[in-house]
Structure 1
Amino acid sequence: MFSTLLVLLSVATLGCALHLPVDPEFLLKKGPINNRIVGGEDTPIETIPWQVSLQRLGSHACGGVIYSKNIIITAAHCVYKKNPRIFVRVGSSTSKNGGSVIKVAKITVHDRYVNINNEKTEYDIALLLLSSPLEMGPTVKAIPLAESVPHDGAAVLVSGWGYTETEESPLHLKSVYVNIVNREECARAYNTEIIKATICAASPWKGACNGDSGGPLTYNGKLVGIVAFGPGMCGTPGKPVIYTDVVELRKWIEEEAKVLSSA
Protein backbone atom coordinates (compact mmCIF):
# COMPACT_ATOMS: atom_id res chain seq x y z
CA MET A 1 0.00 0.00 0.00
CA PHE A 2 2.79 2.43 0.94
CA SER A 3 4.77 1.69 -2.25
CA THR A 4 1.67 2.19 -4.38
CA LEU A 5 1.11 5.58 -2.76
CA LEU A 6 4.69 6.60 -3.53
CA VAL A 7 4.20 5.71 -7.20
CA LEU A 8 0.99 7.73 -7.41
CA LEU A 9 2.62 10.74 -5.75
CA SER A 10 5.60 10.54 -8.11
CA VAL A 11 3.36 10.56 -11.17
CA ALA A 12 1.35 13.44 -9.77
CA THR A 13 4.58 15.40 -9.25
CA LEU A 14 5.52 14.92 -12.92
CA GLY A 15 2.20 16.34 -14.01
CA CYS A 16 2.35 19.26 -11.62
CA ALA A 17 5.90 20.13 -12.71
CA LEU A 18 4.46 20.93 -16.14
CA HIS A 19 1.31 22.58 -14.72
CA LEU A 20 -0.84 19.85 -16.28
CA PRO A 21 -4.14 18.59 -14.84
CA VAL A 22 -3.77 15.28 -13.02
CA ASP A 23 -7.05 13.74 -11.92
CA PRO A 24 -7.65 10.70 -9.66
CA GLU A 25 -8.83 8.58 -12.60
CA PHE A 26 -5.48 9.16 -14.32
CA LEU A 27 -3.55 8.23 -11.18
CA LEU A 28 -5.34 4.89 -10.97
CA LYS A 29 -4.58 3.95 -14.59
CA LYS A 30 -2.30 0.95 -14.93
CA GLY A 31 -0.13 -0.31 -17.73
CA PRO A 32 2.96 0.74 -19.71
CA ILE A 33 3.32 4.32 -20.81
CA ASN A 34 4.29 3.37 -24.36
CA ASN A 35 1.72 3.26 -27.16
CA ARG A 36 -1.08 4.83 -25.11
CA ILE A 37 -3.57 7.54 -26.11
CA VAL A 38 -5.86 7.44 -23.11
CA GLY A 39 -8.97 9.55 -23.62
CA GLY A 40 -8.77 9.57 -27.41
CA GLU A 41 -12.12 9.11 -29.15
CA ASP A 42 -13.27 7.94 -32.56
CA THR A 43 -13.83 11.08 -34.61
CA PRO A 44 -15.76 11.44 -37.88
CA ILE A 45 -13.81 12.98 -40.75
CA GLU A 46 -16.50 15.69 -41.03
CA THR A 47 -15.18 17.03 -37.70
CA ILE A 48 -11.57 17.11 -38.93
CA PRO A 49 -11.96 17.29 -42.74
CA TRP A 50 -8.37 18.53 -43.23
CA GLN A 51 -6.92 15.29 -41.81
CA VAL A 52 -5.36 12.91 -44.35
CA SER A 53 -3.54 9.59 -44.22
CA LEU A 54 -0.16 9.24 -45.94
CA GLN A 55 0.10 5.76 -47.38
CA ARG A 56 2.99 3.59 -48.50
CA LEU A 57 2.53 0.14 -49.98
CA GLY A 58 -1.20 0.41 -49.34
CA SER A 59 -0.91 1.02 -45.58
CA HIS A 60 -1.14 4.04 -43.33
CA ALA A 61 2.29 5.49 -42.54
CA CYS A 62 1.77 9.05 -41.27
CA GLY A 63 -0.76 11.82 -40.96
CA GLY A 64 -1.03 14.95 -43.03
CA VAL A 65 -3.03 18.16 -43.37
CA ILE A 66 -4.83 19.71 -46.33
CA TYR A 67 -3.42 23.18 -47.01
CA SER A 68 -5.02 23.70 -50.43
CA LYS A 69 -6.62 21.70 -53.22
CA ASN A 70 -3.22 20.42 -54.33
CA ILE A 71 -0.88 20.85 -51.32
CA ILE A 72 -0.58 18.67 -48.21
CA ILE A 73 1.50 19.58 -45.12
CA THR A 74 3.21 16.78 -43.20
CA ALA A 75 6.34 16.05 -41.17
CA ALA A 76 9.65 15.89 -43.03
CA HIS A 77 10.65 12.65 -41.31
CA CYS A 78 7.59 10.98 -42.85
CA VAL A 79 8.86 11.51 -46.39
CA TYR A 80 12.59 12.33 -46.20
CA LYS A 81 14.61 9.71 -48.12
CA LYS A 82 11.62 7.36 -48.02
CA ASN A 83 9.97 5.39 -50.81
CA PRO A 84 8.91 8.09 -53.31
CA ARG A 85 5.69 6.21 -54.11
CA ILE A 86 3.54 7.97 -51.53
CA PHE A 87 -0.22 8.29 -51.76
CA VAL A 88 -2.70 10.35 -49.74
CA ARG A 89 -6.14 9.15 -48.64
CA VAL A 90 -8.56 12.03 -48.08
CA GLY A 91 -12.19 12.28 -47.04
CA SER A 92 -12.41 9.13 -44.93
CA SER A 93 -12.63 8.40 -41.21
CA THR A 94 -10.86 5.10 -41.82
CA SER A 95 -7.30 4.68 -43.03
CA LYS A 96 -7.90 1.56 -45.10
CA ASN A 97 -10.91 2.42 -47.24
CA GLY A 98 -13.29 5.17 -48.30
CA GLY A 99 -12.66 8.67 -49.59
CA SER A 100 -10.16 9.16 -52.40
CA VAL A 101 -6.55 8.07 -52.82
CA ILE A 102 -4.26 10.40 -54.77
CA LYS A 103 -0.61 9.99 -55.69
CA VAL A 104 1.99 12.48 -54.50
CA ALA A 105 3.77 14.06 -57.47
CA LYS A 106 6.48 16.10 -55.73
CA ILE A 107 7.88 16.71 -52.24
CA THR A 108 9.52 19.80 -50.70
CA VAL A 109 11.34 19.37 -47.37
CA HIS A 110 12.44 22.34 -45.26
CA ASP A 111 16.11 23.05 -46.05
CA ARG A 112 16.95 23.28 -42.31
CA TYR A 113 15.35 19.96 -41.42
CA VAL A 114 17.50 17.78 -39.17
CA ASN A 115 16.90 14.45 -37.46
CA ILE A 116 19.03 13.90 -34.35
CA ASN A 117 19.40 10.18 -33.63
CA ASN A 118 15.69 9.58 -34.21
CA GLU A 119 15.03 11.29 -30.87
CA LYS A 120 14.69 14.94 -31.85
CA THR A 121 13.87 16.77 -35.05
CA GLU A 122 14.10 20.42 -36.03
CA TYR A 123 12.21 22.15 -38.86
CA ASP A 124 10.33 18.87 -39.24
CA ILE A 125 7.97 19.93 -42.02
CA ALA A 126 7.38 19.08 -45.67
CA LEU A 127 4.93 19.99 -48.41
CA LEU A 128 3.48 17.46 -50.84
CA LEU A 129 2.18 18.33 -54.31
CA LEU A 130 -0.69 16.06 -55.36
CA SER A 131 -0.87 14.64 -58.86
CA SER A 132 -4.45 15.88 -59.21
CA PRO A 133 -6.45 18.52 -57.29
CA LEU A 134 -8.78 17.57 -54.47
CA GLU A 135 -12.54 17.81 -54.78
CA MET A 136 -13.50 19.88 -51.76
CA GLY A 137 -16.63 19.07 -49.76
CA PRO A 138 -17.92 18.27 -46.25
CA THR A 139 -15.22 15.63 -45.72
CA VAL A 140 -12.39 17.36 -47.59
CA LYS A 141 -11.46 20.90 -46.55
CA ALA A 142 -8.32 23.01 -46.30
CA ILE A 143 -7.44 24.39 -42.88
CA PRO A 144 -6.30 27.99 -42.33
CA LEU A 145 -2.94 28.59 -40.67
CA ALA A 146 -3.00 30.16 -37.21
CA GLU A 147 -1.68 33.70 -36.80
CA SER A 148 -0.46 33.17 -33.23
CA VAL A 149 0.48 30.34 -30.88
CA PRO A 150 -2.19 29.54 -28.26
CA HIS A 151 -1.53 30.67 -24.71
CA ASP A 152 0.18 28.36 -22.22
CA GLY A 153 -2.26 25.74 -20.96
CA ALA A 154 -4.65 26.15 -23.91
CA ALA A 155 -6.47 22.99 -24.94
CA VAL A 156 -5.46 22.01 -28.48
CA LEU A 157 -6.64 19.08 -30.56
CA VAL A 158 -4.36 16.42 -32.04
CA SER A 159 -5.67 13.68 -34.32
CA GLY A 160 -4.63 10.69 -36.40
CA TRP A 161 -4.57 6.95 -36.91
CA GLY A 162 -1.55 6.32 -34.68
CA TYR A 163 -1.11 3.72 -31.95
CA THR A 164 -3.70 3.64 -29.18
CA GLU A 165 -3.64 1.91 -25.82
CA THR A 166 -5.05 -1.23 -27.46
CA GLU A 167 -4.18 -1.08 -31.16
CA GLU A 168 -1.07 -0.58 -33.29
CA SER A 169 -3.07 -0.01 -36.47
CA PRO A 170 -6.44 1.48 -35.52
CA LEU A 171 -8.95 1.62 -38.35
CA HIS A 172 -10.83 4.70 -37.19
CA LEU A 173 -9.61 8.29 -36.91
CA LYS A 174 -9.16 9.40 -33.30
CA SER A 175 -8.57 12.73 -31.61
CA VAL A 176 -7.71 13.99 -28.13
CA TYR A 177 -7.19 17.33 -26.41
CA VAL A 178 -3.79 18.17 -24.91
CA ASN A 179 -2.42 21.37 -23.37
CA ILE A 180 0.16 23.86 -24.61
CA VAL A 181 3.36 23.78 -22.52
CA ASN A 182 5.64 26.82 -22.62
CA ARG A 183 9.03 26.45 -24.27
CA GLU A 184 11.04 26.95 -21.05
CA GLU A 185 9.26 24.14 -19.21
CA CYS A 186 9.51 21.94 -22.28
CA ALA A 187 13.27 22.57 -22.47
CA ARG A 188 13.66 21.66 -18.79
CA ALA A 189 11.74 18.44 -19.31
CA TYR A 190 14.20 17.39 -22.03
CA ASN A 191 17.27 19.15 -20.63
CA THR A 192 17.96 20.57 -24.08
CA GLU A 193 17.29 23.69 -26.14
CA ILE A 194 13.89 23.92 -27.78
CA ILE A 195 14.18 25.98 -30.97
CA LYS A 196 11.71 28.71 -31.82
CA ALA A 197 10.27 26.73 -34.73
CA THR A 198 8.72 24.19 -32.35
CA ILE A 199 5.94 24.22 -29.79
CA CYS A 200 5.16 21.73 -27.04
CA ALA A 201 1.93 20.20 -25.79
CA ALA A 202 1.12 17.46 -23.32
CA SER A 203 -1.43 15.87 -21.05
CA PRO A 204 -0.61 12.77 -18.97
CA TRP A 205 -1.41 9.54 -20.82
CA LYS A 206 -2.85 11.48 -23.75
CA GLY A 207 -1.45 12.64 -27.05
CA ALA A 208 0.10 11.67 -30.36
CA CYS A 209 1.79 8.31 -30.79
CA ASN A 210 3.49 6.22 -33.49
CA GLY A 211 1.67 6.76 -36.78
CA ASP A 212 0.34 10.22 -35.87
CA SER A 213 3.46 12.02 -37.14
CA GLY A 214 2.69 14.69 -39.72
CA GLY A 215 -0.84 15.16 -38.48
CA PRO A 216 -2.49 18.37 -37.26
CA LEU A 217 -2.44 20.16 -33.93
CA THR A 218 -5.31 22.64 -34.06
CA TYR A 219 -6.81 25.45 -32.01
CA ASN A 220 -10.20 26.99 -32.78
CA GLY A 221 -10.21 25.40 -36.23
CA LYS A 222 -6.77 26.67 -37.25
CA LEU A 223 -3.50 24.79 -37.71
CA VAL A 224 -0.90 25.59 -35.05
CA GLY A 225 1.40 22.58 -35.23
CA ILE A 226 2.49 19.43 -37.04
CA VAL A 227 3.19 16.26 -35.06
CA ALA A 228 6.94 15.56 -34.95
CA PHE A 229 8.31 12.80 -32.70
CA GLY A 230 10.52 12.05 -29.72
CA PRO A 231 10.52 10.57 -26.20
CA GLY A 232 7.36 12.49 -25.33
CA MET A 233 5.22 10.59 -27.81
CA CYS A 234 2.36 8.39 -26.55
CA GLY A 235 1.50 10.51 -23.53
CA THR A 236 4.64 9.85 -21.52
CA PRO A 237 4.11 11.77 -18.25
CA GLY A 238 6.60 14.61 -17.81
CA LYS A 239 7.66 14.60 -21.49
CA PRO A 240 5.66 16.94 -23.74
CA VAL A 241 5.33 16.11 -27.41
CA ILE A 242 7.27 18.53 -29.61
CA TYR A 243 5.40 19.85 -32.64
CA THR A 244 6.64 21.86 -35.59
CA ASP A 245 5.42 25.43 -35.08
CA VAL A 246 3.22 26.37 -38.04
CA VAL A 247 2.94 29.99 -36.89
CA GLU A 248 6.72 30.45 -36.91
CA LEU A 249 7.01 28.73 -40.32
CA ARG A 250 3.91 30.30 -41.86
CA LYS A 251 5.89 32.41 -44.33
CA TRP A 252 7.91 29.37 -45.46
CA ILE A 253 4.72 27.36 -45.98
CA GLU A 254 3.03 30.09 -48.01
CA GLU A 255 6.06 30.80 -50.20
CA GLU A 256 7.01 27.17 -50.83
CA ALA A 257 3.41 26.21 -51.54
CA LYS A 258 3.29 28.83 -54.32
CA VAL A 259 6.53 27.50 -55.82
CA LEU A 260 5.40 23.90 -55.58
CA SER A 261 1.96 24.63 -57.07
CA SER A 262 3.54 26.32 -60.08
CA ALA A 263 5.95 23.43 -60.74
Structure 2
Amino acid sequence: MRRAGLIVAAAMVALGGLTGTASASPPPQANIIGGTEVPDGKYPFMASLQYQDEKGNWGHFCGASLIDARGVLLTAGHCGRVVEQLKVRAVVGRTKLSGEDGYIREIREVKVHKDADVALLFLDDGVADVAPIQLVTPGTDALERPGRPVLTTGWGSTVLDPAGPGGGGPGSYQPDRLREVTVPVVSNDECGVSYPDLDFKYSICAGRHGKDACQGDSGGPLFVKAPSGRFVQLGVTSAGWGCGALGYPGIYAKLSTQEVGDWIANFGMDTK
Protein backbone atom coordinates (compact mmCIF):
# COMPACT_ATOMS: atom_id res chain seq x y z
CA MET A 1 0.00 0.00 0.00
CA ARG A 2 1.27 3.51 -0.69
CA ARG A 3 0.45 7.18 -0.72
CA ALA A 4 -2.26 8.91 1.23
CA GLY A 5 -2.10 6.72 4.28
CA LEU A 6 1.58 5.98 4.74
CA ILE A 7 3.04 9.49 4.77
CA VAL A 8 0.22 10.85 6.87
CA ALA A 9 0.56 7.97 9.32
CA ALA A 10 4.32 8.48 9.54
CA ALA A 11 3.85 12.14 10.39
CA MET A 12 1.29 11.31 13.07
CA VAL A 13 3.40 8.59 14.66
CA ALA A 14 6.47 10.82 14.65
CA LEU A 15 4.57 13.34 16.74
CA GLY A 16 3.11 10.94 19.24
CA GLY A 17 0.35 9.19 17.31
CA LEU A 18 -2.17 12.02 17.13
CA THR A 19 -5.72 11.06 16.34
CA GLY A 20 -8.74 13.05 15.27
CA THR A 21 -9.97 13.83 11.81
CA ALA A 22 -7.48 11.45 10.19
CA SER A 23 -9.05 8.19 9.13
CA ALA A 24 -8.21 5.07 11.15
CA SER A 25 -7.87 3.24 7.84
CA PRO A 26 -6.50 5.89 5.44
CA PRO A 27 -6.49 5.40 1.69
CA PRO A 28 -3.42 4.05 -0.09
CA GLN A 29 -0.28 7.15 -0.38
CA ALA A 30 2.48 8.77 -2.96
CA ASN A 31 6.94 9.15 -4.28
CA ILE A 32 8.72 9.46 -7.53
CA ILE A 33 9.58 6.05 -9.04
CA GLY A 34 11.74 5.76 -12.16
CA GLY A 35 12.43 9.49 -12.35
CA THR A 36 15.42 11.82 -12.36
CA GLU A 37 16.76 14.61 -10.17
CA VAL A 38 15.61 18.16 -10.88
CA PRO A 39 18.18 20.97 -11.29
CA ASP A 40 17.86 24.00 -9.02
CA GLY A 41 15.13 26.44 -10.01
CA LYS A 42 13.44 24.33 -12.69
CA TYR A 43 10.07 24.14 -10.91
CA PRO A 44 9.98 27.11 -8.50
CA PHE A 45 6.24 26.67 -7.89
CA MET A 46 6.91 23.43 -5.98
CA ALA A 47 6.46 23.53 -2.22
CA SER A 48 7.40 21.13 0.57
CA LEU A 49 5.02 20.75 3.51
CA GLN A 50 7.03 20.04 6.65
CA TYR A 51 6.04 19.10 10.19
CA GLN A 52 8.06 19.84 13.31
CA ASP A 53 8.89 16.94 15.63
CA GLU A 54 9.31 17.05 19.39
CA LYS A 55 13.03 17.86 19.01
CA GLY A 56 12.31 20.87 16.82
CA ASN A 57 13.42 19.24 13.55
CA TRP A 58 11.44 19.79 10.36
CA GLY A 59 10.55 16.83 8.14
CA HIS A 60 8.93 16.71 4.70
CA PHE A 61 5.63 14.79 4.44
CA CYS A 62 3.69 16.18 1.45
CA GLY A 63 4.15 18.30 -1.63
CA ALA A 64 2.11 21.26 -2.87
CA SER A 65 2.10 23.78 -5.71
CA LEU A 66 1.95 27.57 -5.63
CA ILE A 67 -1.17 28.68 -7.53
CA ASP A 68 -1.32 32.31 -6.42
CA ALA A 69 1.68 34.55 -5.67
CA ARG A 70 -0.30 36.20 -2.89
CA GLY A 71 0.32 33.01 -0.93
CA VAL A 72 -2.04 30.18 -1.90
CA LEU A 73 -0.92 26.56 -2.27
CA LEU A 74 -2.81 23.62 -3.75
CA THR A 75 -2.26 20.20 -2.18
CA ALA A 76 -4.08 16.93 -1.53
CA GLY A 77 -7.04 16.90 0.82
CA HIS A 78 -5.46 14.24 3.03
CA CYS A 79 -2.35 16.43 3.35
CA GLY A 80 -4.52 19.38 4.30
CA ARG A 81 -6.07 17.39 7.13
CA VAL A 82 -2.61 16.77 8.59
CA VAL A 83 -1.87 20.50 8.40
CA GLU A 84 -4.98 21.08 10.52
CA GLN A 85 -3.58 18.86 13.31
CA LEU A 86 0.18 19.40 13.41
CA LYS A 87 2.68 22.25 13.49
CA VAL A 88 3.42 22.60 9.79
CA ARG A 89 5.27 25.06 7.58
CA ALA A 90 5.55 25.44 3.81
CA VAL A 91 8.84 25.89 1.96
CA VAL A 92 8.30 27.31 -1.54
CA GLY A 93 10.87 27.35 -4.33
CA ARG A 94 13.49 25.10 -2.71
CA THR A 95 14.68 22.20 -4.89
CA LYS A 96 16.96 20.60 -2.30
CA LEU A 97 15.37 20.05 1.11
CA SER A 98 18.66 20.58 2.94
CA GLY A 99 19.23 23.91 1.16
CA GLU A 100 18.63 27.37 2.54
CA ASP A 101 17.03 29.00 -0.49
CA GLY A 102 13.34 29.48 -1.15
CA TYR A 103 10.66 30.99 1.03
CA ILE A 104 9.51 29.67 4.40
CA ARG A 105 5.90 30.49 5.22
CA GLU A 106 3.50 29.67 8.02
CA ILE A 107 0.05 28.34 7.12
CA ARG A 108 -2.76 30.50 8.45
CA GLU A 109 -5.79 28.71 6.99
CA VAL A 110 -6.72 25.38 5.41
CA LYS A 111 -9.75 24.57 3.25
CA VAL A 112 -10.41 20.96 2.21
CA HIS A 113 -12.85 20.05 -0.57
CA LYS A 114 -15.75 17.93 0.62
CA ASP A 115 -15.48 15.33 -2.18
CA ALA A 116 -12.27 15.70 -4.21
CA ASP A 117 -8.86 14.99 -2.64
CA VAL A 118 -7.73 18.62 -2.88
CA ALA A 119 -7.07 21.35 -0.33
CA LEU A 120 -6.07 25.01 -0.37
CA LEU A 121 -3.43 26.33 2.02
CA PHE A 122 -3.37 30.06 2.69
CA LEU A 123 0.07 31.31 3.74
CA ASP A 124 0.90 34.12 6.15
CA ASP A 125 2.63 36.08 3.38
CA GLY A 126 2.89 36.17 -0.39
CA VAL A 127 5.67 34.82 -2.60
CA ALA A 128 6.00 37.64 -5.11
CA ASP A 129 9.22 36.44 -6.75
CA VAL A 130 7.86 33.02 -7.74
CA ALA A 131 5.66 32.45 -10.80
CA PRO A 132 2.67 30.26 -9.84
CA ILE A 133 1.77 27.23 -11.90
CA GLN A 134 -1.22 27.71 -14.20
CA LEU A 135 -4.28 25.54 -13.60
CA VAL A 136 -6.16 23.66 -16.31
CA THR A 137 -9.36 25.32 -17.56
CA PRO A 138 -12.37 23.80 -15.75
CA GLY A 139 -14.71 21.83 -17.99
CA THR A 140 -12.02 20.85 -20.52
CA ASP A 141 -10.26 17.53 -21.05
CA ALA A 142 -7.74 18.32 -23.79
CA LEU A 143 -4.81 17.46 -21.51
CA GLU A 144 -6.29 14.16 -20.37
CA ARG A 145 -6.11 12.12 -23.56
CA PRO A 146 -5.06 8.52 -22.76
CA GLY A 147 -1.40 7.99 -23.56
CA ARG A 148 -0.47 11.67 -23.32
CA PRO A 149 2.85 12.14 -21.47
CA VAL A 150 2.54 14.26 -18.33
CA LEU A 151 4.92 15.16 -15.51
CA THR A 152 4.81 14.70 -11.77
CA THR A 153 7.35 15.87 -9.21
CA GLY A 154 8.09 15.29 -5.54
CA TRP A 155 10.44 14.39 -2.73
CA GLY A 156 8.81 11.02 -2.13
CA SER A 157 10.30 7.54 -1.94
CA THR A 158 12.15 6.19 -4.95
CA VAL A 159 11.79 2.56 -3.86
CA LEU A 160 9.79 0.41 -6.29
CA ASP A 161 7.02 -1.19 -4.23
CA PRO A 162 4.77 -4.05 -5.44
CA ALA A 163 1.05 -3.77 -4.82
CA GLY A 164 0.96 -6.97 -2.76
CA PRO A 165 3.23 -8.58 -0.16
CA GLY A 166 6.96 -8.47 -0.75
CA GLY A 167 9.91 -6.15 -0.41
CA GLY A 168 10.71 -3.15 -2.54
CA GLY A 169 13.72 -2.47 -4.71
CA PRO A 170 16.75 -0.22 -4.26
CA GLY A 171 16.36 3.51 -3.74
CA SER A 172 15.88 6.19 -1.10
CA TYR A 173 12.82 6.55 1.10
CA GLN A 174 13.50 10.29 1.49
CA PRO A 175 15.55 11.87 -1.30
CA ASP A 176 16.97 15.31 -0.55
CA ARG A 177 16.60 16.68 -4.08
CA LEU A 178 13.31 17.10 -5.93
CA ARG A 179 12.69 14.45 -8.59
CA GLU A 180 10.51 14.32 -11.69
CA VAL A 181 9.10 11.56 -13.86
CA THR A 182 7.12 11.48 -17.11
CA VAL A 183 4.09 9.19 -16.99
CA PRO A 184 1.30 8.43 -19.50
CA VAL A 185 -2.33 9.29 -18.82
CA VAL A 186 -4.34 6.09 -18.38
CA SER A 187 -7.90 5.82 -19.69
CA ASN A 188 -10.78 5.59 -17.23
CA ASP A 189 -11.70 2.16 -18.59
CA GLU A 190 -8.21 0.78 -17.98
CA CYS A 191 -7.84 2.44 -14.59
CA GLY A 192 -11.26 1.15 -13.56
CA VAL A 193 -9.97 -2.40 -13.89
CA SER A 194 -7.39 -1.68 -11.17
CA TYR A 195 -9.63 0.57 -9.07
CA PRO A 196 -13.27 -0.45 -9.70
CA ASP A 197 -14.65 1.89 -7.03
CA LEU A 198 -12.81 5.02 -8.17
CA ASP A 199 -14.98 8.06 -8.90
CA PHE A 200 -13.67 9.46 -12.19
CA LYS A 201 -15.54 12.71 -11.68
CA TYR A 202 -12.83 13.57 -9.18
CA SER A 203 -9.93 11.36 -10.28
CA ILE A 204 -7.58 10.77 -13.20
CA CYS A 205 -4.97 8.02 -13.50
CA ALA A 206 -1.43 8.15 -14.87
CA GLY A 207 1.66 5.96 -14.73
CA ARG A 208 3.00 2.59 -15.79
CA HIS A 209 5.16 -0.19 -14.39
CA GLY A 210 8.30 1.42 -12.96
CA LYS A 211 7.11 5.02 -13.53
CA ASP A 212 5.03 6.46 -10.74
CA ALA A 213 4.66 8.65 -7.67
CA CYS A 214 5.06 7.20 -4.13
CA GLN A 215 5.12 7.94 -0.35
CA GLY A 216 5.95 11.61 0.17
CA ASP A 217 4.76 12.82 -3.25
CA SER A 218 1.14 13.31 -2.19
CA GLY A 219 -0.10 16.84 -2.82
CA GLY A 220 2.35 17.52 -5.64
CA PRO A 221 1.23 18.46 -9.16
CA LEU A 222 0.49 16.42 -12.27
CA PHE A 223 1.26 18.85 -15.09
CA VAL A 224 2.38 19.52 -18.66
CA LYS A 225 4.52 22.16 -20.34
CA ALA A 226 2.44 24.25 -22.72
CA PRO A 227 3.77 25.57 -26.06
CA SER A 228 3.96 29.00 -24.39
CA GLY A 229 6.52 27.63 -21.96
CA ARG A 230 4.14 27.86 -19.01
CA PHE A 231 3.42 24.81 -16.90
CA VAL A 232 -0.24 23.78 -16.63
CA GLN A 233 -1.45 21.61 -13.73
CA LEU A 234 -4.21 19.08 -14.38
CA GLY A 235 -4.03 16.94 -11.24
CA VAL A 236 -2.86 16.56 -7.63
CA THR A 237 -0.99 13.44 -6.50
CA SER A 238 -3.48 11.52 -4.41
CA ALA A 239 -3.28 7.73 -3.98
CA GLY A 240 -2.61 4.30 -5.47
CA TRP A 241 -1.49 0.77 -4.64
CA GLY A 242 2.22 0.08 -4.52
CA CYS A 243 4.76 2.37 -6.16
CA GLY A 244 5.37 1.71 -9.84
CA ALA A 245 3.53 -1.58 -9.40
CA LEU A 246 2.49 -3.60 -12.44
CA GLY A 247 -1.17 -2.95 -13.29
CA TYR A 248 -1.68 -0.15 -10.74
CA PRO A 249 -1.23 3.39 -12.07
CA GLY A 250 -1.18 6.41 -9.79
CA ILE A 251 -4.39 8.19 -8.84
CA TYR A 252 -4.53 11.98 -9.08
CA ALA A 253 -7.25 14.42 -8.05
CA LYS A 254 -8.80 15.78 -11.25
CA LEU A 255 -8.75 19.58 -11.59
CA SER A 256 -10.71 19.89 -14.84
CA THR A 257 -13.98 18.94 -13.15
CA GLN A 258 -16.06 22.13 -13.25
CA GLU A 259 -17.09 21.91 -9.60
CA VAL A 260 -13.50 21.49 -8.41
CA GLY A 261 -12.13 24.20 -10.70
CA ASP A 262 -14.79 26.66 -9.55
CA TRP A 263 -14.09 25.83 -5.90
CA ILE A 264 -10.38 26.55 -6.36
CA ALA A 265 -11.02 29.73 -8.37
CA ASN A 266 -13.24 30.98 -5.53
CA PHE A 267 -10.58 30.09 -2.95
CA GLY A 268 -12.59 27.35 -1.34
CA MET A 269 -15.88 29.21 -1.15
CA ASP A 270 -19.07 27.26 -1.90
CA THR A 271 -20.41 28.71 -5.14
CA LYS A 272 -23.87 27.16 -4.81
Same fold (TM over 0.5): yes
Q: Which whole-Å deviations, capped at 9, do the CAs of 1:65-100 have from their partners, x for residues lacking one?
A: 001021000001012155342211112111233212
Which residue does the alignment assign to 1:56? 51
CA distance in 2, matches of 1:79, 1:35: 15
Which residue does the alignment assign to 1:91? 93
Which residue does the alignment assign to 1:200? 205
CA distance in 2, matches of 1:196, 1:101: 34
Bigger Rg over Cα: 1
Which residue does the alignment assign to 2:22? none
Which residue does the alignment assign to 1:250? 261
Aligned equivalent of 2:126, options 129, 133, 137: 133
1:135-174 mapped onto 2 (5 Å cutoff): 135-136=128-129, 140-147=130-137, 148-149=140-141, 150=143, 151-165=145-159, 166-174=171-179
CA distance in 1, matches of 2:33, 2:200: 28
Code of the residue aligned with 1:256 in structure 2: it is F
Q: CA deviation at 1:193?
A: 3.9
Contact in 1 for aligned 2:38/2:179 (Cα 8 Å): yes
Identity level (%): 32
Q: CA deviation at 1:36?
A: 7.7
Aligned length, in residue pairs: 212
1:22-101 mapped onto 2 (5 Å cutoff): 37-57=32-52, 58-69=58-69, 70-80=71-81, 82-98=84-100, 99-101=102-104
CA distance in 1, matches of 2:194, 2:246: 10
SS of 2:190's equivalent? Answer: helix
Which residue does the alignment assign to 2:245? 236
Q: CA deviation at 1:38?
A: 4.4
Contact in 1 for aligned 2:234/2:254 (Cα 8 Å): yes
SS of 2:134's equivalent? Answer: coil
SS of 1:179's equivalent? Answer: strand
Contact in 1 for aligned 2:30/2:240 (Cα 8 Å): no
Contact in 2 for aligned 1:36/1:164 (Cα 8 Å): yes
Q: CA deviation at 1:247?
A: 1.2
Q: 1:255 to 1:203 in 2, by over 3 A?
A: same
Q: 1:43 to 1:214 in 2, by over 3 A?
A: same
SS of 2:96's equivalent? Answer: coil
Code of the residue aligned with 1:152 in structure 2: it is P
Give the aligned CA root-mean-square deviation in angstroms: 2.1
SS of 2:180's equivalent? Answer: strand
Q: CA deviation at 1:188?
A: 1.2
CA distance in 2, matches of 1:65, 1:170: 18
Stretch deviating more after TM superposition (209-218 or 148-157): 148-157
Contact in 1 for aligned 2:80/2:111 (Cα 8 Å): no
Q: CA deviation at 1:35?
A: 9.0
Stretch deviating more after TM superposition (55-64 or 193-202): 193-202
CA distance in 1, matches of 2:64, 2:237: 9
Code of the residue aligned with 1:52 in structure 2: it is A
Aligned equivalent of 2:111, options 86, 108, 111: 108
CA distance in 2, matches of 1:238, 1:205: 10
CA distance in 1, matches of 2:31, 2:51: 24
Which residue does the alignment assign to 1:226? 236
SS of 1:234's equivalent? Answer: coil
The unaligned stretches of length 5 or more in structure 1 are 1-33, 113-122
